[in-house]
Structure 1
């Protein structure tokens, strides 16, 4: 697998924000802008799209230059920005890469009531506005960059409590098979970017090693879905991550406990406006 010589990943939308002047804004959800040599990727588009638009302008990022939009899964806090007309107009005509189950009707049991938390656009609307690539299998769509496809389970539990999907036969538990990550083979090792990590970040790491053939993990970044987990489980996951990766950047649904348990030498502040850079 070829290497990316120059990599920069910048968080455009997240629920963790920092004191930055001029002021950047955040919301529940996630979006990151990736510059990998000559390839530009928008990984997720946030909940409303407003932070993506606002923060990209302040950070000098031209979203019209995006080559690919990668959607980590079908939940609205990662795809809702597609329903923002201003953002949609900027991204129209780009190529979207996602797992085919992203179009399932998805629901959250919140306070005993089912709430729709799926895509804001129909498949027909997305196909009308974008070039759409759907794949369950891993896909190296640019030099040194792989869309994970469906993450293989290696015995670590998936995070899907309270999450459902609708089928013709009725409502059933959603195993989030559409939960997908990005694997970037940088000059310092693999950089793994997750959206929510519903499939479990430890499963994602094993999947990355298996499909890339690269065992050296430089950084694991994004949502680890540990926010509602018991303290011992969070501690166990972070300890395992720390034995695998040089740098760890918990974001979005990872929770403050996960952030606090990462040692200072490994921790990356990966909130709104923050970046990871890897160069030769």
Structure 2
């Protein structure tokens, strides 16, 4: 089992890769390849090319949630597939491969959502429609857990357990029954992947809007009987949160995650330092390759 970070806010020092505010990772479970999020732009594909990775090869694209910085990159794939209609070699090859590609996401993935700013609303949803994707991919929308491969589970809708992980009211979506035509968006589509290894379960997140502690609780039983969580990689959505919330998060992770945590993306640099007081934290950045089967994996 292997995780490769294709795009992220941080980059390995002196590497040939570039970063952006977004997230994308490739998960390899034996011969099975799963693309988890596609970042904000085509940068995930450009970085992947430098790693000799073909982003059209995975048979499954799983989305953590419907925010532009996790989904926008798929426009690059759509445009490449559209080139097939003009007869370009790259387009024909990608089109042949993507006839079988499945997109897995939550039913609220296509929700039109906005972030509250001081004097306006800023659109933060997907830069495409369901119809745009259906032209090139098979779409599976599910709130229930789905097994993507022998050792990878899409967790589906996360049951919110901890009060201190309240997502707040910063995000809204159009709803005629709500205040001024909008309703608070609790981001119910936010989810993660549970990766099974011989040592236990490793959690791969996108943003953790649903709460990293709640995600961990759900991941423990992703494969039936409760198993140990041996590590976490991805965004923890701690940036800008009060110290008390970070403390509660850190204490929970200290007590419930046996191995190392690799926070990135929306976690925040200051918040990572604060989190490191409670648990073992590693580095997450573009170009990082984590072999979960390696005996050298920190646990």
Relative to the length of structure 2, the TM-score reads 0.85
> What's the CA shift for 1:18?
2.3
Q: Distance in 1 between matches of 2:2 and 2:212?
A: 21
Change (3 A) 1:39 1:236: same
Whether 1:11 aligns to 2:5 is yes
Residue by residue over 1:42-86, the C-alpha shift from the partner in whole angstroms, topping out at 9 and shown as x without a partner, is 10000112x212210111212222121000000101011122357
Q: Unmatched 5+ residue regions in structure 1?
A: 1-6
The DSSP-based 3-state class of the residue aligned with 1:258 is helix
Could you tell me which residue of structure 1 aligns to residue 91 of structure 2? none
CA distance in structure 2 between the aligned counterparts of 1:158 and 1:207, rounded to whole angstroms:
17
Match of 1:187 among 198, 208, 226: 198
Question: What is aligned with 1:33?
Answer: 26
CA distance in 2, matches of 1:264, 1:67: 38
CA contact (8 A) 2:59 2:98 kept: no
User: 1:4 maps to which residue?
Assistant: none
Q: How many residues align?
A: 272
| Cross-structure match for 1:162 | 170
Alpha carbons of structure 1 residues 265 and 88: separation in structure 2 relative to 1, 3 Å: farther
Relative to total residues, which structure has the larger strand share, 1 or 2?
1
**Following superposition of structure 1 onto structure 2, how do residues 75-90 of structure 1 map, counting pairs within 5 Å?**
75-84=67-76, 89=81, 90=94
Mapped contact 1:189–1:214 kept (Cα < 8 A)? no
Preserved CA contact (<8 Å) 1:238 1:258: no
Name 2:285's counterpart in structure 1: 271
- Of 135, 146, 152, which aligns to 1:139? 146
Which one has a bigger Cα radius of gyration?
A: 2
Structure 2 alignment gaps of length 5 or more: 82-93, 295-299
Distance 1:138 1:88, change over 3 A: farther
Deviations 1:210-254 (A, max 9, x none): 443232111111111000101232132123212222110101001
Q: Distance in 2 between matches of 1:92 and 1:197?
A: 29
- Alignment correspondent of 1:48: 41
- After superposing the two structures, state which structure 1 stretch, 124-133 or 87-96, moved more: 87-96
User: Counterpart of 2:17?
Assistant: 24
In structure 1, distance between residues paired with 2:40 and 2:75: 9
8 Å CA contact 1:82–1:120 kept in 2: the answer is no
User: In the alignment, which of 214, 238, 249 is matched to residue 262 of structure 2?
Assistant: 249
Specify which of 229, 233, 237 is matched with residue 241 of structure 2. Answer: 229
User: Retained in 2: the 8 A contact 1:46–1:52?
Assistant: yes
SS at match of 2:187: coil
Q: Return the offset for 1:203.
A: 0.5
Residue number among 215, 230, 235 corresponding to 1:218 in the alignment: 230
3-state DSSP class of the match of 2:72? helix
Task: Return the TM-score normalized by structure 1.
Answer: 0.91
Please provide the CA RMSD for this pair.
2.0
Distance 1:171 1:160, change over 3 A: same
- SS of the residue corresponding to residue 248 of structure 2 reads helix
Q: Are 1:82 and 1:88, in contact at CA under 8 Å, matched by a contact in 2?
A: no
Match of 1:207 in 2: 218
Deviation larger for 202-211 or 85-94: 85-94
Higher relative contact order (CA 8 A, sep 6+): 1
Q: Does the alignment pair 1:103 with 2:110? A: yes
Change (3 A) 1:234 1:130: same
2:14 match: secondary structure: coil
